[in-house]
């Protein structure tokens, strides 16, 4: 690994705009400044002006690249040389694997044994070692701890981590610099790091922009927590959005409660329709999870009528043989 | 229709860079300045640096939007008010329909009766009138002439038209301004207007860049014509690239012969593999015809090794239910 890379100081508190700008100044050389796209036909259909920040076109096909790099670059040389570890069934694992590859250090990704072959192949393709475990969260955590302790690895949590949160916030930072006059900023919410990072950026850059977390109705823990003002959990995870099954946490929820204006949940069938519309009208590939904010606009047309709406399209890693539409 | 729109003077000769810049300065307010995307994983796989100019993300999902607008804006108010007519089974029809919609004038598109329902719907969706005819080119031309004469419409040919050619050239103009140090510029060739426009821009902007026309082996009229130094025709049109079945013409071929450095043809199965790679690695939707230049790089890895290769991705209008991979 090269010792010449610029590094990030450890974040001990909730990141502020300055922290997120510092993270961006360092990770930007490794990531894509993804394009902001628009579609006249979607605008006409929905009666508002929608701007899509295309993180599905980010490296590894998802915004998780940002948080993974931000976290990796906060470790010391000594820590990095031993290696990184994460547990993930999805894009966070790919982010950590790719970040480690970029930095020339080892990475281990613990994945449930029912993860798709294509996702495991992607992680391996970035040079990380995949360790499978049984499908429970407990098994993931125990397996991770065992290998971490044995090899002295540095663990990166997918969302309970201020560096990850600051990294995810760099997408909104680029977005609001590309398009500064939005009325709304919409992002999906799962564990909450993207929504936290985005809301910190939005609220410090503009007092006017409304930040809305978007969630499938089937896993609307964030919506219920937000209006109850305390953390509520999902009883089931019966949604096609496999990237949105996590619960908001004690780290992320207070930030969401403070910064976010609304959380809106939507039906599964609207999510599928939104996904199909994005594919057909925009010629880009997005995951189910990415399609939730557009579904929110579709189910609330009147509310967004005539407004400038920014949507973060979070990722595009789908199995092309298993489309839901 | 608004009489206040900026208009283009009639082009009587082969367009030069100045003409194409003038066209761009006028059509740019109606089109997307499409992003240039890269993929590390494709670069590693193929051993070169590839830059993709994403006209699949253009309005109507294809570069044909540019030529159609350029041609439409060269007509007088009187001509435009009567309306435009084109015959097309694909993207040119959509381009003319959309250009007419933007300008607020009528459009008629003659389409063979075996055109897909989705393509007819797209043309109708832009407000144009669709007239079906039997599937031969003769029937298309006769039907078009009849309606044109009856209604006094202005006809726009898909490639035998200097305004169309200049319009298509604006994609390369944006591309080479975004990325000026390319070793190669690759574009598909069918009737030839995109390759003509691109090569005019490339040769006037840089003496170093090599321009390569890319063609399916099954319809390699341009390749055979290029090396025989006279127009050869396709005996069959047995290719999955439904956008590349036309033949180079007496208008386009001399420009290709003068400006283009090479024409390379590729196998159908490489085109399908290239298409799948673009979908999977880049998360964007491209048509078969768009995938031919990447197939050229894949079949000639050594030739492009270590070079900066620019590829125009021409369009993304596919039937999502009928993928070839």
Q: Which of A53, A64, A98, A119 is catalytic?
A: A64
Torsion, Cα A280 A284 A290 A292, to 10 degrees, reads: -20
Q: What is the CATH number of the domain that holds A102?
A: 3.40.50.1100
Q: Which of A32, A61, A285 sits opposite B285 (nearest CB)?
A: A285
CA of B97 to nearest chain A CA: how many angstroms apart?
Answer: 14
**Which DSSP letter does residue B256 get?**
H
Asked whether the beta carbons of residue B284 and residue A279 sit closer than 8 angstroms, the reply is no
Residue among A283, A317, A323 minimizing CB distance to B57: A283
Question: Considering CB atoms only, which of A57, A61, A283 is closest to B316?
Answer: A283
Query: Is the domain of A177 the same as that of A206?
Result: yes
Size of interface A-B (CB pairs under 8 A): 49
Nearest to B90 by CA among B299, B289, B311: B289
Q: Which residues pair with B232 in a beta bridge?
A: none
List of chain B residues whose C-beta atoms are within 8 Å of the C-beta of residue A38: 32
> Which string of b and e fits B16-54 if b means at least 16 CB within 10 Å?
ebebbbbbbebbeebbbebbbbebbbbeeebebbbbbbb
Given A107, A137, A155, which residue is the final one in a domain? A155
**For residues B251 and B231, what is the distance between their CA atoms, to the nearest angstrom?**
11
- Given A41, A56, A280, which is nearest B283 (Cβ)? A56
pLDDT class of B1 with cuts at 50, 70, 90: low
Looking at the fold, whether A195 and A228 belong to one and the same domain comes out as yes
Residue A230 CA to residue A123 CA, distance in Å, equals 35
What are the tokens at A82?
């031993």
Residue found under tokens 């010449």: A4
DSSP string, B220-249: -HHHHHHHHTS----S----S-TTS-S---
A52: left (phi over 0), alpha (psi -120 to 50) or beta: beta
| Closest Cα in chain B to A35 | B35
Q: Is B272 on the interface with A (CB under 8 A)?
A: no
Residue B167 reports pLDDT greater than 70: yes
Residue in chain A nearest B54 by alpha carbon = A283
Residue of A280, A283, A315, A318 to mutate for B, most B C-beta atoms under 10 A: A283
- Model confidence pLDDT, tens digit, residues B35-45: 999 999 999 99
Does residue B6 form part of some domain?
no
Chain A nearest C-alpha distance from B225 (Å): 34
> Quick check: A285 and B283 CB within 8 A?
yes
**Residue of B59, B64, B283, B284 to mutate when probing chain A, most A C-beta within 10 A:** B283
Q: Which residues of B are catalytic?
A: 64, 89
Whether A38 sits inside 8 A of B32 (CB atoms) is yes
Mean pLDDT per 10-residue segment, chain A (325 residues) = 76 97 97 97 97 98 98 96 94 97 97 88 94 92 97 97 98 96 98 98 95 98 98 94 94 98 98 97 97 98 98 95 89
Q: Around Cβ B283, how many Cβ atoms within 10 Å? A: 26
Q: Is residue A298 part of a domain?
A: yes
**Is residue B168 in a domain?**
yes
pLDDT-above-90 percentage for chain B: 91
Which of A137, A155, A173 marks a domain boundary? A155
Are B280 and A320 an interchain contact pair (Cβ–Cβ within 8 Å)?
Answer: yes
Residue of A nearest to B45 (CA): A125
Same domain, A203 and A280: yes
Whether the CB of A31 is below 8 Å from some CB of chain B: the reply is: no
Catalytic hit among A39, A89, A154, A199: A89
Residue entry with tokens 């979607």: A42
A169-206 per-position pLDDT tens digit: 999 999 999 999 999 999 999 999 999 999 999 999 99
Q: Give domain status of residue B9, yes or no.
A: no
pLDDT of residue A3: 58
Please tell me the total count of domains within chain B. 2
Exposed, middle or buried: residue B84 (CB in 10 Å: 0-12, 13-18, 19+)? buried
Identify whether B28 is part of a domain. Answer: yes
Whole-angstrom Cα distance, residue A55 to residue A90?
15
One domain for residues A117 and A78: yes
Residue ranges making up the domain that contains A31: 17-62+162-313
**Cβ-Cβ contacts under 8 Å, B317 against chain A:** 283
Helix axes A91-103, A64-72, angle to 10 degrees: 40
Residue A282: its chain B contacts at CB < 8 A?
A: 57
Q: Å from A55 to nearest chain B CA?
A: 10
d(CA B194, CA B172): 9
B243: Cα separation from own chain's centroid: 8
Residue B189 and residue B108 in one domain: no
Contact between A83 and A108 (Cβ < 8 Å)? yes
In a domain, A264, yes or no: yes
Same domain, A137 and A171: no
Which residue in chain A is spatially nearest to B39 when comparing CA positions? Answer: A59
Q: Least CA distance to B42: which residue of chain A?
A: A59
- Same domain (yes/no): A82, A58: no
The string of pLDDT tens digits covering residues B230-249 is 999 999 999 999 999 999 99
Q: For B183-201, what is each residue's pLDDT tens digit?
A: 999 999 999 999 999 999 9
A18 phi-psi bin (left φ>0, alpha ψ -120 to 50, beta other): alpha
Strand bridging mode B84-87 / B107-112: parallel
Same domain membership, residue A171 and residue A278: yes
Helix (H, G, I), strand (E, B) or coil at B187: strand
Q: Is A193 a catalytic residue?
A: no
| Contact indicator for B124, B93 with CB cutoff of 8 Å | no
- Which residue among A38, A316, A323 places its CB closest to the CB of B283? A316
Question: Does one domain contain both B174 and B278?
Answer: yes
Phi, psi of A24 (to 5 degrees): -60, -40
Q: Looking at the complex, does the CB of residue A320 fall below 8 Å from at least one CB of chain B?
A: yes
Q: Does the interface predicted TM-score (ipTM) exceed 0.90?
A: yes
CB of B279 within 8 Å of a chain A CB? The answer is yes
In a domain, B12, yes or no: no
Contact, B98 vs B66, CB < 8 A? no
Min Cα separation B219/chain A (Å):
26
Does A271 lie in the same domain as A140? no
Which of A155, A185, A214 is the last residue in one of the domains? A155
A318, part of any domain:
no
> Taking the CA of residue A268 as centre, how many other CA atoms within 13 Å lie in the half-sphere pointing to its CB?
10
DSSP SS3 for A51? strand
Q: Is B38 on the interface with A (CB under 8 A)?
A: yes
Name every chain B residue with its beta carbon within 8 A of the beta carbon of A283: 56-57, 61, 284-286, 316-317
Question: Between chains, do A279 and B320 touch, taking CB under 8 Å as contact?
Answer: yes
CB-based contact A305:A47 (threshold 8 Å): yes
What pLDDT does B91 receive?
A: 94
Per-residue confidence band for B135, with pLDDT thresholds at 50, 70 and 90: confident
CA distance A312 to B89: 35
Q: Are residues B204 and B240 in the same domain?
A: yes
Q: Which residues of B touch A61 (CB under 8 A)?
A: 283
pLDDT score, position B136:
87
Radius of gyration of the CA atoms of chain A, in A:
18
Containing A139, the helix (H) or strand (E) segment is helix A137-151
Contact between chains at A35 and B35 (C-beta distance less than 8 A): yes
Sorted by sequence, the CB contacts under 8 Å of residue A61 that are 6+ apart come out as: A91, A94, A315, A316, A317, B283
- Predicted confidence at residue B192, as pLDDT, reads 98
Q: Which of residues 99-138 of B touch A (CB under 8 A)?
A: 125
**With 90 as the cut, is the pLDDT of residue B118 above it?**
no
Do B190 and B142 reside in the same domain of the chain? no
Partner residue facing A283 (CB), from B38, B41, B284? B284
Query: For A284, which of B40, B284, B317 is closest by C-beta distance?
Result: B284
């Amino acid at each position: 690994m090269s010792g010449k890379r610029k590094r990030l100081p450890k974040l001990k508190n909730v990141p502020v705009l300055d922290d997120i700008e510092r993270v961006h100044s360092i990770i930007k050389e490794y990531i894509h400044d993804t394009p902001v796209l628009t579609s006249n036909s979607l605008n006409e259909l929905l009666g508002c002006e929608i701007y899509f920040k295309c993180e599905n076109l980010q490296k590894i096909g998802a915004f998780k690249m940002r948080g993974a790099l931000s976290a990796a670059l906060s470790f010391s040389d000594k820590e990095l040389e031993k290696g990184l570890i994460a547990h993930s069934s999805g894009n966070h694992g790919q982010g950590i694997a790719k970040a480690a590859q970029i930095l020339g250090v080892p990475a281990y990704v613990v994945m449930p044994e029912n993860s798709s072959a294509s996702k495991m192949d992607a992680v391996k393709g970035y040079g990380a070692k995949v360790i499978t475990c049984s499908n429970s969260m407990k098994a993931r955590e125990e397996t991770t701890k065992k290998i971490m302790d044995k090899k002295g690895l540095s663990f990166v949590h997918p969302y309970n981590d201020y560096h990850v949160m600051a990294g995810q916030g760099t997408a909104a930072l680029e977005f609001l610099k590309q398009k500064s006059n939005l009325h709304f900023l919409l992002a999906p919410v799962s564990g909450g790091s993207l929504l936290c990072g985005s809301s910190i950026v939005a609220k410090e850059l503009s007092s006017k922009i409304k930040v809305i977390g978007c969630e499938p109705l089937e896993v609307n823990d964030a919506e219920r927590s937000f209006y109850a003002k305390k953390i509520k959990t999902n009883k089931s995870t019966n949604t096609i959005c496999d990237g949105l099954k996590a619960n908001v946490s004690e780290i992320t929820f207070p930030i969401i409660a403070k910064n976010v204006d609304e959380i809106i949940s939507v039906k599964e069938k609207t999510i599928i329709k939104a996904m199909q519309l994005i594919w057909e009208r925009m010629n880009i590939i997005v995951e189910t999870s990415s399609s939730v904010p557009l579904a929110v606009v579709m189910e609330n047309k009147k509310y967004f009528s005539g407004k400038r709406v920014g949507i973060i399209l979070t990722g595009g890693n789908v199995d092309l043989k298993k489309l839901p539409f």
